[in-house]
Structure 1
């Protein structure tokens, strides 16, 4: 039997003229933590967090963070990595409610674009959690800081967020915690935007061009 998944109700401020200056765009930088890497099958979301970037500045007072009940045990290995315990998530909302709250934060800030470091994984997490609740996401614009680094510094091939933050001299927050990684990514992203502007790339169209990737949209 064929089951049709409903479109998840989320609206972005995404219809921007290509000549819109980057500093006039609102970005939401986000990160997730999970019970493991098999998010299409057995592993689940345990934390989601985000921070707003507006006017090419990190709005550190405008953040979102939520633990998520994964409906399964968190291994000791993941607890040691993330500091998230089974007790902390026991009374937390389930994935669908957590994702709804996340997108409420995104829409409340009139976000035009999501940003993440190796964002494809975080996208996959959202996709599969929504799929379990019979939802799918329409196309939502997103940018990976790895694509931006690949354009600005193609010789860099470290992938590790902390090493990139060190290389570009930006702030580093606690690792493998969704809010810490979101904040670290946000400050790295702002620094990268500065380098982009120094090279003469200043508009939304420029940003889309230099980060062009087949996986740039959340299209499920």
Structure 2
């Protein structure tokens, strides 16, 4: 059906399909009516369409809601299908396995968060202090969307400690964030607005880890949001002691 080699069985007839999803696609293809003469040909099998992308996202969002409310322990394939309002067969059609679904849902959440953060933050390297401060606040649950995403990430993080595939998604994202923070600090150093001999990489490691922990503290109610912001202000001012640039909300 899809060209993927199948494994010959020890006994019985050889399999026709490489997976359940491949078998489901073949079944759906046989059920489709033949196009009328002169009608446009349907898109090739396996080519993503808008409808398919929307259905996959709908299923991924169901995983997020379950993870945020119950943790990934409650994310069975049947529970995901019920939360998404689709059949179990539909989930199996779009995702070869539960593990593939969990990994894809995590990647999609990272992409969503990055897109929303880029829309909220004005990337201006002429104001590295302001840019660094705005970036660090993205780790805090400042609104419902960021609080929800942080809950989902927390559920995934616990699972990723024993799952290399999930860990790879986290590690790739964390490293890029640390590099970005280091680049912002370097821009400030080049402009003469940081403390002398600042180690951008060590500072970036501390800021990313610290902001992540502060966000979880606020989410758990361990500290108020104002305290978390004060901690970030302290560390940003320690790196940029002479910079008096104000933030977009008017606070220093």
Query: Looking at both structures, which has the greater relative contact order when contacts are Cα pairs under 8 Å and sequence separation is at least 6?
Result: 1
- Say yes or no: TM over 0.5: no
TM-score by structure 1 length? 0.29
Q: By percentage of residues, which structure has more helix? A: 2
Which of the pair has more CA radius of gyration? 2
